[in-house]
Amino acid sequence: MRLLTPQDFAPWLGQKVRVATLPEPVEITLERIERRSPMRGFDMREPFSLFFESPLHVFLIDGTYDLDCGKGGPHFILLTQLQPADRRFYEAVFA
């Protein structure tokens, strides 16, 4: 199995991403990719995070979802909700 990299998600930037939820899918937007410094000798790949946002009415509990924007994927990704403000924010960490 190939490990995903930040480059795999570059075509998703600024795009609406379909999240396979029930009873129907919802959309969130990939707002940024944040690269992290590798821990020398320990990381299998460059660590990074994906940051998504959505309107307040789109509520996802922390969990693994099938995400697809039509440009690569679909990928099963663990999303964690961050502190909402005027929108909801989600992060996916790839260590």
Q: φ, ψ for residue 5 (rounded to 5)?
A: -125, 170
Looking at every residue in the chain, the average pLDDT score rounds to 92
User: Contact 28/53 with Cβ under 8 angstroms?
Assistant: yes
User: Contact 15/21 with Cβ under 8 angstroms?
Assistant: no
Contacts of 5 (CB under 8 A, 6+ apart): 45, 46, 48
Q: Where are the domains of the chain?
A: 6-94
**Which pLDDT does position 52 carry in this prediction?**
98
Q: Is the pLDDT of residue 69 over 90?
A: no
Choice between 37 and 81, residue whose per-residue pLDDT is larger: 81
**Which pLDDT does position 45 carry in this prediction?**
77
pLDDT in tens, 14-43: 999 999 999 999 999 999 999 988 776 666
